[in-house]
Amino acid sequence: MKNVVVRTENLTKRYKNTLAVDKLCMEIEEGEIYGFVGANGAGKTTTMRIIAGLLAPTSGSVFVDGIDVSKKPLQVKKHIGYMPDFFGVYDDLKVSEYLNFYAGMQGIEKNRCDTLVDSLLELVRLTHKRDAYVDTLSRGMKQRLCLARSLIHDPKFLILDEPASGLDPRARVEMKEILMELATMGKTILISSHILHELSQICTSIGIIDSGRLVACGSVREVSDRMSHSGKLKIKVSSKEEEAVKVLLEIPEIKGVSSAAGMIDVDVIGQDDTYADILRTLVEKGIPVISFQPQESSLESVFMQLTEGGNGNDN
Amino acid sequence: MTINPILKKDLKTKLRGWRSTILICCYVTLLTGILFLYFASSNMFNPRSYQSFNPRMAIDAYNILITFQFALLFIAVPAITAVSISSERERQTLDLMLVTATPARRIILGKIMVSIAHTMLLLVASLPVIGIVFFFGGIGFADIAKLLLFYLLTAFFVASCGVFFSTIFKRNITAIITTYIFLGLVTFGPFVGFLIYAMLHQRMPGGFNPVYRDFVTGLFPSPVFGYISFYFGSYGGYGGYIFGISDVQRQIEMLLAAETGIWKYMHPWIVNGLFSIISSILLIFFSSLALNPVKRKY
Ligand SMILES: Nc1ncnc2c1ncn2[C@@H]1O[C@H](COP(=O)(O)OP(=O)(O)OP(=O)(O)O)[C@@H](O)[C@H]1O
Ligand SMILES: [Mg+2]
């Protein structure tokens, strides 16, 4: 069994009249990239700030590497790299000075700083901006600089709050590459995002949060499998197109059918065996099926289903 | 013990370029200008004047200088410290500091050291000007060393107040205003209180005849009380007439001389210096507590 790097126990945070995080129990194992997904105001940032030791929970506790964050915050901070959803830069510092400052704040000795800063700048592809002032950097560069800052003390666990927000597609790909590189370096990463598609590509596990509650968690596969979710199905027939549509519409799990030139698009709600049933029915009715393609169920639809059901959209 | 990273960063960025050099030059020029104006206004440079140089004038000049610097300390130090934490908060860099291995107390101390470094820089830069006065006689090295120590302690206290209010208030402007109001109360409040107390007691039978320890008990928090120690009035028999403080000062010196036991050593600047140290330590303690995120409830 792998080491659990982060564990939250009934984590609850209540602001005056909003319950931002509600009895959240979460476990992140060593080496995982844990995707933290939720709509605006779901409580992602609040949870991450509590884990980083920046906010006291109303009740419940967080353990990083088995250490209680509220008991020994300074000890825990050595293991955590935190990148918030804003930049936080000083306008009168150069890129290398910026990193050197945080190296100093992390208690790294002076003689190690220069090589450390150079290697980090290389990692985030900012070596050419070493002597530029921080406020002259583009948004994407600032974001990468902030990532470098969160890595300065070589933490084993990274908390990244929407590291890809506001980036163009190219910068997103770059950010993704850097994250993959970090994962191969053995870092455990907690990353939040709205862009589910991207998360499903790089994450090993996923947790879906809605109104402060963790409504689903597990590996990407598990999460999407566990749900009876709506999916799409593409069927190609050589003839008898109209008859096929009629047959399909009689099946209760099918919510919609549209057809054109031998291609039939079907909306289905159900599990894997539902698809098998549909195929069997078609064949039994003598429809000449050429191809039968369930579309890979996207995380997106799981997400939509999980978050729209409960309390609905509150903003 | 490594140098505080916050102090290091501040020195690096503030001393970059010519800005601070120009600032220091302006400051020293201003001091020299004030001195020159004072001497010029007193007929000293008039060749037809029969009046020769009066050592009293050097002492007056000294009084002007230290008062000017004392006032400057009360204006400049809060301006730097009252925004120190709240501006980090507004710039969103406070969280980034708090997630590092640097404890809150060290962040607070770093901010205080920044402001003290700046004040000391100005004070030391002005030493040559004070030296001119020294050259004309009357004031010794020990006096200047004591003065610097007292200013250092006062700066420490003022800086701690600024950082404290900067920590507990979220917005720059609230922190600045509260700091100045608080410092105004600490500085002038005891005098007002003492005056009222004196007026009330004068009407009672026996009148009001305070001894030195009454002054200490009533006025110890006020830095102006400590400053009286350095205001030259009664030493050497010269009466100081600038700002009309000399009478109070002379009376206090006389009362001190009449004291017995340990009170004999409780010079105004020592009493107030001790108060500054103790309250600074308390303020730093509470600031760190307020800054500590795990204990912070908002
Ligand atoms: N300082 C605060 N005071 C009061 N309420 C707050 C505070 N911070 C957050 N909240 C509330 O807590 C809830 C969760 O906010 P949080 O920022 O954690 O959401 P999020 O999932 O990060 O959203 P987003 O995707 O928009 O970043 C929201 O309803 C928000 O209004
Ligand atoms: Mg957020």
The answer as to whether A308 is a domain residue is no
Interface test with B, best of A61, A90, A101 (most B CBs within 10 A): A101
Atom of ligand 1 at shortest range from CA of A314 = 29
Q: Which of A176, A195, A225 is the last residue of a domain?
A: A225
Q: What is the pLDDT of residue B165?
A: 96
Contact assessment for residue A190 and residue A160, using Cβ atoms and an 8 Å cutoff: yes
- Distance, in Å, from the CA atom of B100 to the CA atom of B217, rounded to the nearest integer, reads 43
Of the candidates A56, A80, A104, the beta carbon closest to that of B294 is on A56
- Pair of tokens at residue A219: 């590996």
What does the DSSP assignment read for chain A?
A: -PPEEEEEEEEEEE-SS-EEEEEEEEEEETT-EEEEE--TTSSHHHHHHHHTTSS--SEEEEEETTEETTT-HHHHHTTEEEE-SS----TT-BHHHHHHHHHHHTT--HHHHHHHHHHHHHHTT-GGGTTSBGGGS-HHHHHHHHHHHHTTT--SEEEEESTTTT--HHHHHHHHHHHHHHHHTT-EEEEEES-HHHHHHH-SEEEEEETTEEEEEEEHHHHHHHS-EEEEEEEEESS-HHHHHHHHHTSTTEEEEEEETTEEEEEEEE-HHHHHHHHHHHHHTT--EEEEEEPPPPHHHHHHHHHHHSS----
Does the residue A137 lie in any domain? yes
Is A188 within a domain? yes
Note whether A195 and A175 are same-domain residues: yes
H or E element at residue B111: helix B104-125
Q: Residue A303 domain-assigned?
A: no
Mutation site, A55, A82, A102, A105, interface B, largest B CB count within 10 A = A105
Residue-level pLDDT at A310: 46
- A 27-56 residues with CB < 8 A to B: 49, 52-56
- What span, in angstroms and rounded, lies between the C-alpha atoms of B231 and B63? 6
Q: Which amino acid is at A113?
A: C
- For A61, the domain range is 4-225
Do residue A237 and residue A154 come from a single domain?
no
For residues A9 and A96, state if they share a domain.
yes
ipTM value for the complex:
0.84
Q: How many CB atoms lie within 10 A of CB A31?
A: 16
Considering the domain architecture, whether residues A169 and A240 belong to the same structural domain is answered as no
Amino acid at A305: Q
Q: Is B18 helix (H, G, I), strand (E, B) or coil?
A: coil
Yes or no, beta carbons of B102 and A106 under 8 Å apart: yes
Q: What are phi and psi of B128, to 5 degrees?
A: -55, -35
Q: What is the total count of domains within chain A?
A: 2
Question: Which residues partner with A14 through β-bridges?
Answer: A19
Tell me, yes or no, whether A309 lies in a domain.
no
The answer to whether the Cβ–Cβ distance between A78 and B2 falls below 8 Å is: no
User: Backbone phi, then psi, for A242, in 5-degree steps?
Assistant: -65, -40
Does the beta carbon of A254 lie inside 6 Å of ligand 1? Answer: no
**pLDDT reported for residue B211:** 81
Among positive and negative, which fits the CA dihedral A275, A276, A281, A282?
A: positive
Chain A positions in Cβ-Cβ contact with residue B294 (cut-off 8 Å): 53, 56, 69-70, 73
The residue whose CB lies within 8 Å of the most ligand 1 atoms, and thus the one to mutate among A17, A18, A193, is: A18
Residue of chain A whose Cα is closest to the Cα of B110: A105
Question: What pLDDT, on the 0 to 100 scale, is given for residue A230?
Answer: 65
Residues A271 and A152 occupy one common structural domain: no
Domain boundary residue, one of A173, A198, A225: A225
Same domain, A57 and A206: yes
Show residues of chain A in contact with B296, CB under 8 Å: 55-56
Strand-pair partners of A2: none
> Is the four-CA dihedral A148, A152, A156, A160 of positive or negative sign?
negative
Q: Whose CA is nearest to atom 29 of ligand 1?
A: A41
Looking at the fold, whether A120 and A214 belong to one and the same domain comes out as yes
- Please say which residue of A225, A247, A263 terminates a domain: A225
The CATH number of the domain holding residue A236 is 3.30.70.100
CA quadruple A232, A165, B171, B98: dihedral sign? positive
pLDDT in the model for residue A145: 94
State the SS3 of A139-157. HHHHHHHHHHHHCCCCCCE
CB contact under 8 A, A84 and B294: no
On whether both A62 and A196 belong to a single domain, the answer is yes
Residue with tokens 């409780």: B266
Give the one of A49, A90, A102 whose C-beta lies nearest to B100's C-beta.
A102
Q: Residue A188 belongs to a domain with what CATH number?
A: 3.40.50.300
Query: Do residues A33 and A132 share a domain?
Result: yes
Q: Cβ distance A227 to A63 under 8 Å?
A: no
Q: What is the DSSP code string of B117-186?
A: HHHHHHHHHTHHHHHHHHHHSS--HHHHHHHHHHHHHHHHHHHHHHHHHHHH-SSHHHHHHHHHHHHHHH
Q: Are residues A22 and A82 in the same domain?
A: yes
Shortest Cα–Cα distance, B111 to chain A (Å): 13
Taking the CA of residue B296 and the nearest CA in chain A, the distance in Å comes to 7
Token pair for B290: 């307020």
For ligand 1, the distance from its centroid to the CA atom of residue A200, given in whole angstroms, is 24
A208 and A242 part of one domain: no
Of the candidates A76, A57, A21, the residue with the CA atom closest to the CA atom of residue B296: A57
Cβ contacts from A onto B, under 8 A = 81
User: In a mutational test of the pocket of ligand 1, which residue from A8, A17, A46 has the highest number of ligand atoms less than 8 Å from its CB?
Assistant: A46
Q: Compute, in degrees rounded to 10, the torsion defined by CA atoms A65, A71, A73, A76.
A: -10
Cα angle, residue B177 at apex, residues B176 and B181 outer, rounded to 5°? 120
Which of B 82-101 lie inside 8 A of A, CB atoms? 91-93, 95-101
**Is the C-beta atom of A69 inside 6 A of ligand 1?**
no
Co-location of A241 and A158 in the same domain: no
Low-confidence ranges of chain B (pLDDT < 70): 1, 42-56, 133-139, 232-249, 295-298
With respect to residue A185, please indicate whether it lies within any of the assigned structural domains.
Answer: yes
* Rounded CA separation A7/A34 (Å): 12
Look at residue A245 and tell me if it is in a domain.
yes
CB–CB of B146/B269 below 8 Å?
Answer: yes
How many whole angstroms separate alpha carbon A207 and alpha carbon A192?
9
Distance of alpha carbon B238 from alpha carbon B259, whole angstroms? 23
Cross-chain Cβ contact B95/A104 below 8 Å: no
Residues in chain A, pLDDT under 50: 310-315
For A66, the token pair is: 């088995």
* CB within 8 Å: B9 and A101: yes
Asked whether residue A28 is assigned to any structural domain, the reply reads: yes
User: Cβ distance A6 to A63 under 8 Å?
Assistant: yes
